[in-house]
């Protein structure tokens, strides 16, 4: 069994931005009203694609 579970993929084609993209933009603009200690991991969407392909080859 192989499990792939990226939690916060981001990439150049986020159009709205996505909720994840909004968190990043708000942080960069210092517009975050609070900070929550969390284990959220941001990852480039191209790395997610590569990981899924490699995982599929393992099955």
Q: What is the pLDDT of residues 3-55, one digit of tens each?
A: 998 888 888 887 788 887 888 888 889 998 777 777 778 899 999 999 999 99
* DSSP letter, residue 27: H
Q: 1 lies in a domain?
A: no
Q: pTM of the entire structure?
A: 0.65
Task: Give the C-alpha separation, 6 to 55, whole Å.
Answer: 13
Q: 3 lies in a domain?
A: no
pLDDT of residue 10: 85
Q: 47 lies in a domain?
A: yes
Q: 33 lies in a domain?
A: yes
Show the domain range for 16: 8-58
Residue 47: closest CA among 1, 21, 11: 11
Q: 2 lies in a domain?
A: no
Task: Give the C-alpha separation, 49 to 35, whole Å.
Answer: 30
Instruction: Report how many domains make up the chain.
Output: 1
Task: Give the C-alpha separation, 16 to 56, whole Å.
Answer: 30
């Amino acid at each position: 069994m192989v499990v792939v579970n990226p939690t916060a993929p981001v990439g150049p084609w986020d159009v709205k931005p996505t909720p994840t993209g909004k968190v990043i933009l708000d942080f960069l603009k210092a517009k975050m009203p609070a900070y929550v200690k969390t284990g959220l991991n941001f990852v480039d969407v191209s790395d997610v694609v590569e990981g899924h392909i490699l995982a599929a080859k393992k099955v």
